[in-house]
A and B are shown apart, each in its own frame.
Chain A
Amino acid sequence: MSTINLVYFSWVRERIGKSEETLELPANVVTVADLLAHLKTLGEQYEAALEHQNVIRAAINQEHVDHGEAIAGAREIALFPPMTGG
């Protein structure tokens, strides 16, 4: 088990119903894709937020990463939709 801080933004935050949380992750959660799959087992809100998994963007320690990125050593993982600033 490892402890990870998760932060959510925009409609990912709204659908999950919270802006941040700390979770214990099972050892078989190795990559961002594993994390998304694991979160979807935690309830309907997570399923709704992460339904279109390919659309979800991730950042580890505030840097953009692909879904294949390993999460070992991450202090903070953020999940959010494609950006629409500017």
Chain B
Amino acid sequence: MNDAVTVRVQREDFDLAAEVSALSRGRADIGAVVTFSGLCRDEAGALSALELEHYPGMAEAEIERICREAVKRFRLEAAIAIHRFGKIMPGENIVLVVTASSHRQAAFDGAGFIMDFLKTSAPFWKKEHRADGSAGGWVSAKDADDTARDRWSQND
């Protein structure tokens, strides 16, 4: 099961299509692949960039823990999570999650589970750079993200 999980925390962009084809190449046991990618919004033109800070070491370890939990819980064949850091412009990628399983529901659920936990426990912080040049603030954590995470424990 060790090769089932791929985690990368990187400054560089990623290629969604390349990740999916690498994951499914030569495999006949995968019946469903779900991808989620999170992009930087411009907030109706107000934002010029997001600065993503992370805790090196812990970020990778925490995302890997979440992915392994998802693989076990939903019996995924594979999971990939890639999270970028540094300065990210509107329209650019921030995060990618790919899950693969025999059947679609497990892949959908696995991707949702990974994102909900990633948002609430992976050590990343977003700082806004504003288009008008004024000092942007740090993005506040949302209660809705905690609620989204907590629904997974209610289903046990």
**Hey, what's the 0/1 contact readout for B112-140 against A, CB within 8 Å counting as 1?**
00010011111111110000000000111
Q: Tell me which of A22-30, A33-41, A78-86 binds B.
A: A78-86
Decide: B138 and A83 in contact? CB cutoff 8 A: no
Task: Contacts A7-B55, A59-B55 given; indicate if A83 touches B125 (C-beta within 8 A).
Answer: yes
Interface flags, A3-26, vs B, CB<8A=1, else 0? 000010111000000000000000
Size class of the B contact interface (CB-based, 8 Å): 20 to 34
Given contacts A9-B53, A81-B138, are A86 and B94 in contact (CB under 8 A)? yes
Chain A residues whose CB sits within 8 angstroms of the CB of B118 once the complex forms: 85-86
Cβ of B58 within 8 Å of any chain A Cβ, yes or no, is yes
Nearest A residue to B50 via CB reads A84
Counting residue pairs across A and B whose Cβ atoms lie within 8 Å, the total is 69
Q: Assess the A84–B125 pair: CB atoms within 8 A.
A: yes
A80 to B1, CA, bound (A): 33
CA distance A64 to B61 in the complex (A): 11
A64 to B16 alpha-carbon distance, docked (Å):
30
Residues of A within 8 A of B115 (CB): 86
The answer to whether A85 touches B122 (Cβ under 8 A) is yes
Q: Evaluate contact between A85 and B55: CB separation under 8 angstroms.
A: no
| Chain A residues with CB under 8 A of B83 | 85-86
Say yes or no: is A53 at the interface (Cβ < 8 Å to chain B).
Answer: no
Interfacial residues of chain A within 53-86, with CB under 8 A of chain B in the complex: 59, 62-64, 78, 80-86
Please name 5 further chain A to chain B contacts, defined as beta carbons within 8 Å, in addition to the given A9-B55, A10-B125, A62-B55, sorted by A numbering. Answer: A59-B58, A80-B55, A83-B124, A85-B59, A85-B126
- Top-10 shortest CB links A-B: A85-B124, A82-B141, A86-B119, A10-B125, A62-B58, A84-B139, A84-B126, A85-B122, A11-B138, A86-B118
Query: Could you pull out 7 A-B pairs where Cβ atoms are within 8 angstroms?
Result: A62-B58, A64-B62, A81-B125, A82-B141, A83-B122, A85-B83, A86-B124
